[in-house]
Amino acid sequence: MLVLACAIPAVLAAILLIAYNFQREKAHALEQAHELAQSAVNAVDRDFASTQSALYALGTSDLLEKGDLAGFQQRASRVLQNLKAHDIVLTAPSGQQLVNTRVPFGSPLPVVGQPVRVKGLFDADRPVVTDLFYGKALKTHLFGIAVPVSDGTRVTHALAAGVMPETVAAMLRQQNLPRDWIAAVFDSSGTIVARSHQMDEFVGKKASPGLRERLQAETHGTLDTVTLEGVKVYTAFVRSPSSGWAVALGIPRRSLTNQLWLAVVVAIAVVGVLLATGFATAWHIGSRISGSIFELAKPAFALGYGAKVTVPPLYFHEANVLGETLSTASALLHDASAAVARHDARLTAIMDSAMDAIITVDDDQRVILYNRAAAAVFGWPPEEAVGRPLSQFIPARFRDAHVRHVEAFGQRNRARRGMGESGELLGLNRDGQEFPIEASISKINEDGKNFYTVVLRDITERVKARQALERSNADLRQFAYVASHDLKSPLRSIGGIAQILEHSYHGALDAKGIGLLRRLSAAAARLEQLTDDLLQLADLEGEVPAFAPVDCRDAVQEALQLMEQPIRDAGATVTVGDLPVVMGVHGELTHLFLNLIANAVKYHGQQAPEVRITAERAGAEWVISVADNGIGIDPKHHERIFEVFNRLHKVGDYGGTGIGLAICRTIAARQGGRIWVESQEGKGSTFKVALRGAAVPA
Ligand code: ADP
């Protein structure tokens, strides 16, 4: 196609060139023909002129003046030898031939016909060239060149030379015309006088009509015409203004078109050879290009599959550059995929080393990643698990709801959440057994698709342990309650009996007995206090009543009322700041404040106790402080004082059961809050309770 695209304009240009060249050739040939015709006409005119000069010279002969016609004939015969003429005839104005070099002098001579009595010769006294005529005596065509002979006043004779067409033909031959050109000499009437070809056949015939018309009308010109023998010719003609005779030269069209065809054939041959060479070269180059591209297609394909690419040396530079680029891309891809493989292996190793089961599913909730721990939990080996729906790992009755939950999670903005928020989650293993699980789900979005990762663990053991703990706690609570409750009345009896003994049998006992009785009733009182406290603690292990806003001012006031006597006894001062409304259980909070105020009053040093109850906001919480100026607590005991029965003092120094702060911590925790102490030994203590604020600020 490329070769054709290049060749077609060249071929068209060649055709145009050939056509242009043909036109130029034709114009040139016609020009040449015109020049040759001109010189032929000149030659004819020259011949006429020289014959006329000879005749003029002969006409001035004194023999004619003297009337010596016999002598004149002899002279004329001599002149004739140098003339290209057939005879010389002297004619009187009457038409009577007086001398004719063709017949011996004295023979009877005819009165000549029309051609010799040429009009104008006698009248106008000027030379004449006749048209061609047929000489009956000679039985041939000929023409005459005649000059007038005058005696000084009038024309006395006509002296004419008869010329045969062959003379003109000889002149034509001398013109060295190209052999195939058809040349013809016409007289003033357009009759053929001489011809280069088939002269015998055409002398005396009229020119072809087209040419005859042009000969009459113009002195020179060119035309396309057909010769009498039927040859198509390009013709140039020239007519002599003096004699009216003309020469026409016909160049056979075929001789020009032959050249044209030759040029065309040569052009076709050359173009054909060039085209063939071009095709061969283009084919060669084209097959190298396509070969290179085919060679490159294989590695390009291999590259798509991530295979290592090797490109053989190719046939041209650009293909080699592309080949090298493919090789480099393949190497890069190879490195990248090796890195990805290493990364995958690392990820798998990390996943497999995880304690928890990790399962990743695609948008259709089908497993795509499944670690070793998952296999251990569910019993399915990874190769069987991958591709299964996630619902496979869930008891049948939860499956639909679970699928919907995951979809809903996929549509929400949260990237992560715990599962089973609305109830306990159960898994299903390969053997069809259900077991409790703890799980969280997270999602990532890749190209508009969600991938979910579920991290879960089997909590069968933990659930069992919790259930066991709950059971034992319940048992313990029951026991503590029963024990403390059932202990109370015998203790009270013991205390009461001891008092009765002390009062009623006061005289019967010695001091030691009375001392023992007092210790007995003190021990009973203490034991009673202990059982009370334990009972309270046991009560707090039960369910938390519904929360309500609790005004801390009320709770503190109630506690202070209960503490009225001890405060007075200790000479303590209590100041209460602005206190908030918090969320909680009123009775429990009163109990908490009661314990803290009791301790603040109890654990004082030399100074009278000063207690300050204040509150401050910390975010959503309120921190309520109960501060005293008492003995303080070494920081190393700050934690343990909140444990049951942990006391820092002997009962003799400061009374107490070691349960009060444990109750405080339980109450704080039940309200969703915390309790802690800030204190240094000898520098007073500040107990702080953080509680959730109610919507209505204090
Ligand atoms: P107790 O019945 O002994 O008061 P608590 O549980 O109320 O039991 O207190 C535990 C221990 O914490 C106390 O024995 C005491 O040593 C210490 N403690 C409690 N409150 C204060 C306080 N305000 N100042 C100093 N020490 C205190």
| pLDDT tens for each residue of 347-405 | 889 989 999 999 999 999 999 999 999 999 999 999 999 999 998 899 999 889 888 88
Torsion of CA 594, 600, 601, 607, to 10 degrees: -170
Residue linked to tokens 């009956």: 136
pLDDT at 120 exceeding the cut of 70:
no
Atom number in ligand 1 closest to CA 647: 14
Average pLDDT of the chain? Answer: 88
Lowest-confidence range among 402-416, 431-445, 473-487?
A: 473-487
pLDDT, residue 558, reads: 95
Lowest-confidence range among 79-88, 105-114, 511-520?
A: 105-114
- When comparing pLDDT for 670 and 257, which is higher? 670
pLDDT at 627 exceeding the cut of 50:
yes
Atom number in ligand 1 closest to CA 657: 2
Does the C-beta of 599 come closer than 6 Å to ligand 1?
A: yes
Distance CA 573, CA 586 (A): 25
Locate 153 and state its tokens: 């006043």
pLDDT at 567 exceeding the cut of 60:
yes
Does the C-beta of 311 come closer than 6 Å to ligand 1?
A: no
pLDDT, residue 56, reads: 92
Does the C-beta of 666 come closer than 6 Å to ligand 1?
A: no
Q: What is the pTM of this model?
A: 0.46
Atom number in ligand 1 closest to CA 658: 8
Ligand 1 pocket test target in 534, 563, 599 with most atoms within 8 Å of CB: 599
Distance CA 543, CA 276 (A): 107
Query: Residue 408 belongs to what H/E stretch?
Result: helix 399-411
pLDDT, residue 562, reads: 92
- When comparing pLDDT for 531 and 669, which is higher? 669
Distance CA 425, CA 394 (A): 9
| 655 — pLDDT class (breaks 50, 70, 90) | confident
| 245 — pLDDT class (breaks 50, 70, 90) | very high
Looking at residues 19-33, what average pLDDT do you find? Answer: 89
Distance CA 488, CA 484 (A): 6
Does the C-beta of 633 come closer than 6 Å to ligand 1?
A: yes
pLDDT, residue 40, reads: 93
User: Where is mean pLDDT largest: 115-119, 126-130, 281-285, 660-664?
Assistant: 660-664
Distance CA 611, CA 592 (A): 15
Does the C-beta of 657 come closer than 6 Å to ligand 1?
A: yes
Kindly provide the residue ranges of all beta strands, DSSP E only, lying in 336-431, ordered along the sequence.
Answer: 357-361, 367-370, 416-418, 425-428
Lowest-confidence range among 81-90, 523-532, 624-633?
A: 523-532
Ligand 1 pocket test target in 603, 646, 650, 654 with most atoms within 8 Å of CB: 603
For residue 360, CA distances in Å to 88, 209, 385, 451, 459 come to 139, 110, 11, 7, 20
Does the C-beta of 603 come closer than 6 Å to ligand 1?
A: yes
DSSP helix/strand/coil, 354:
coil
Does the C-beta of 629 come closer than 6 Å to ligand 1?
A: no
pLDDT, residue 698, reads: 38
pLDDT, residue 697, reads: 43
Does the C-beta of 89 come closer than 6 Å to ligand 1?
A: no
Atom number in ligand 1 closest to CA 659: 6
- When comparing pLDDT for 545 and 603, which is higher? 603
- When comparing pLDDT for 560 and 18, which is higher? 560
pLDDT at 18 exceeding the cut of 60:
yes
Q: How far is the CA of 480 from the centre of ligand 1 (A)?
A: 23
Does the C-beta of 282 come closer than 6 Å to ligand 1?
A: no
DSSP-derived letter for residue 75 is H
- When comparing pLDDT for 573 and 336, which is higher? 573
Locate 525 and state its tokens: 């009182």
For residue 635, CA distances in Å to 590, 610, 677 come to 27, 21, 9
Name residues whose C-beta falls within 8 Å of residue 407's C-beta, 6 or more positions apart in sequence.
none
CB neighbours of residue 66 within 10 Å = 10
Residue nearest to atom 18 of ligand 1 (CA): 599
High-pLDDT (> 90) share of the chain, % = 48
Looking at residues 273-290, what average pLDDT do you find? Answer: 87
Contact 498/513 with Cβ under 8 angstroms? no
Distance CA 352, CA 27 (A): 102
| 119 — pLDDT class (breaks 50, 70, 90) | low
Q: For the stretch 415-431, what's the b/e string if a residue is b when 16 or more beta carbons lie within 10 angstroms of its beta carbon?
A: eeeebbeeeebebbeee
Q: How far is the CA of 571 from the centre of ligand 1 (A)?
A: 19
Ligand 1 pocket test target in 531, 563, 647, 667 with most atoms within 8 Å of CB: 647
Residue nearest to atom 19 of ligand 1 (CA): 599
User: Where is mean pLDDT largest: 86-95, 260-269, 441-450, 669-678?
Assistant: 669-678
Burial of 400 (0-12, 13-18, 19+ CB in 10 A): exposed
Contact 449/368 with Cβ under 8 angstroms? no
Does the C-beta of 642 come closer than 6 Å to ligand 1?
A: no
Q: How far is the CA of 489 from the centre of ligand 1 (A)?
A: 28
Q: How far apart are the first and last CA of the chain?
A: 97
Q: How far is the CA of 631 from the centre of ligand 1 (A)?
A: 10
pLDDT, residue 359, reads: 94
Residue nearest to atom 4 of ligand 1 (CA): 656
Q: Which domains, from first to last, does the chain contain?
A: 49-167 (3.30.450.20), 340-458 (3.30.450.20), 463-539 (1.10.287), 548-692 (3.30.565.10)
pLDDT at 421 exceeding the cut of 70:
no
pLDDT, residue 472, reads: 84
